[in-house]
């Protein structure tokens, strides 16, 4: 089972790297290889879920490889969430400079954006995976010392 957990964790890191490369390509050249929804469904969601399976399958193993890969996955997710937040902030600044709201209710409707929920979710999941990987690394180090 340990080899399966290594494969799952490595696939998760690879999916995130491909996801990030596709987003970077879209930012630079205004076109990407994958549509946003396809990229999210086939690259993003599996890379969020696979590390949990990898950690579970490697729970009886003392190696630090799988927890390190899960930690890397968490850090990559957090970095992606930060970039998404910066992009959202830039877009909202551009929209605010282009239009002026007519009343408070319209301003409240324009200020709500589901992207904020996505950013928060990404940061929470990435942080949880990072902490999970770090805890497993530190527990495997303490088990080796005893």
3-state secondary structure 94-132: HHHHHCCCCCHHHHHHHHCCHHHHHHHHHHHHHHHHHHH
Q: Residue 145: is its pLDDT beyond 70?
A: no
Q: Residue 146: is its pLDDT beyond 50?
A: no
CA 75 from chain center: how many Å? 8
Q: State how far the Cα of 47 lies from the Cα of 77, in Å rounded to an integer.
A: 9
28-77 pLDDT, tens digit each: 888 888 888 899 899 999 999 999 999 999 988 888 999 999 999 999 99
**DSSP state, residue 38:** H
Q: Residue 140: is its pLDDT beyond 90?
A: no
6-21 pLDDT, tens digit each: 999 999 999 999 999 9
100-129 pLDDT, tens digit each: 555 566 655 666 667 778 888 999 999 999
- pLDDT tier, 143 (very low <50, low <70, confident <90, very high otherwise): low
Q: Residue 96: is its pLDDT beyond 60?
A: yes
Per the CB < 8 A criterion, the answer to whether 56 and 2 are in contact is no
């Amino acid at each position: 089972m340990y080899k399966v957990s290594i494969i799952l964790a490595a696939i998760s890191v690879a999916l995130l790297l491909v996801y990030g490369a596709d987003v970077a390509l879209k930012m630079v050249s205004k076109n990407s290889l994958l549509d946003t929804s396809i990229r999210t469904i086939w690259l993003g969601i599996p890379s969020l879920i696979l590390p949990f399976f990898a950690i579970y399958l490697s729970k009886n193993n003392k190696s630090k490889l799988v927890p390190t890969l899960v930690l890397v996955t968490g850090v990559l997710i957090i970095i992606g969430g930060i970039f998404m937040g910066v992009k959202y902030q830039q877009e909202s600044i551009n929209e605010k400079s282009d239009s002026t709201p007519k009343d408070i209710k319209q301003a409240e409707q324009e200020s709500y954006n589901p992207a904020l929920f996505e950013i928060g979710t990404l940061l929470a999941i990435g942080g949880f995976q990072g902490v999970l990987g770090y805890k497993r690394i530190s527990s495997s180090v303490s088990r080796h010392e005893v």
